[in-house]
Amino acid sequence: MRGALPRRLQKQICRAVYMFKTILFRNPHPAGPLWFRKLASVYLILCGLPIFLPYFDARYLPSPEWVSSVRIFDILVVILMTCAAGFFVFQECRKATSEVSRVNAVWGGIGITIPFWIFGILLNWGPVTHGGPMLVSGLIGQEVELPFDVRFWDTGRDRSRCPNSVTVKDLPLIQGKICNLPPEFLTTLQRYDTIIVSGQGTQAGLFVSSARRAVQEPDSL
């Protein structure tokens, strides 16, 4: 653990929280009633959890099987949240008495829905595939082992602060990295090798603590 967050990051978080509170919780708001904005806040918090993990030397690795089986639900959540925001904006536009109010309502709806599509679709950090299972793993996760297939590896320091890393198959590059592995371990790997990753979590994913090569069964004659 690195301890306290860097001062620059602390200031950025404070600014973001202040803007978040000012924009999302002012009343009235063109993007919908307060209950909907609170729901949107929970959604964005769950989606944003992975942003802070590298500052605590933590790396969460979702199971490719879990991601592929439930990703459709994250897509449906984004669509439902977008439709709900659009409905509230439409109501606001009908009540608006000026063109400026209508424009503000439209831009308010766009502003609240763009993060849904960035986190839930583009980055694939939705609450079903990523945020929710990550929270469960951190709170009540057990020691588990999950298999992953190697896509490629890097024995140097890259720009994402993830040196001596393995990138696994069937996950987006931004999610599927295991960092700080022993260089001598990386030199034994071949592409598409299976590795066993251990850590605290569930069958949906885990916080990585170690990795080893899977035992290769001898070919039957």
Over the chain, what HEC string results?
CCCCCCHHHHHHHHHHHHHHHHHHCCCCCCCCCHHHHHHHHHHHHHHHHHHHHHHHCCCEEECHHHHHHHHHHHHHHHHHHHHHHHHHHHHHHHHCCCHHHHHHHHHHHHHHHHHHHHHHHHCCCCHHHHHHHHHHHHHHCEEEEEEEEEEEEECCCCCCCCCCEEEECCCCCCCCEECCCCHHHHCCCCCCCEEEEEEEEECCEEEEEEEEECCCCCCCC
pLDDT tens for 201-212 read 999 999 999 899
Percent of the chain with pLDDT over 70: 80
pLDDT attached to residue 201: 93
Predicted structure pTM score: 0.76
Please say if the pLDDT value at position 4 is more than 70.
Answer: no
pLDDT attached to residue 9: 53
> Contact, 33 vs 88, CB < 8 A?
yes
Handedness of CA 158, 175, 8, 16 (dihedral sign): positive
pLDDT attached to residue 221: 43
pLDDT tens for 10-35 read 565 566 565 555 555 555 555 567 77
Which of 68-72, 86-90, 181-185 has the highest average model confidence (pLDDT)? 68-72
Domain boundaries, the chain: 7-57+67-134, 142-213
pLDDT attached to residue 89: 83
pLDDT attached to residue 23: 55
pLDDT attached to residue 133: 93
Least confident of 22-26, 41-45, 74-78: 22-26
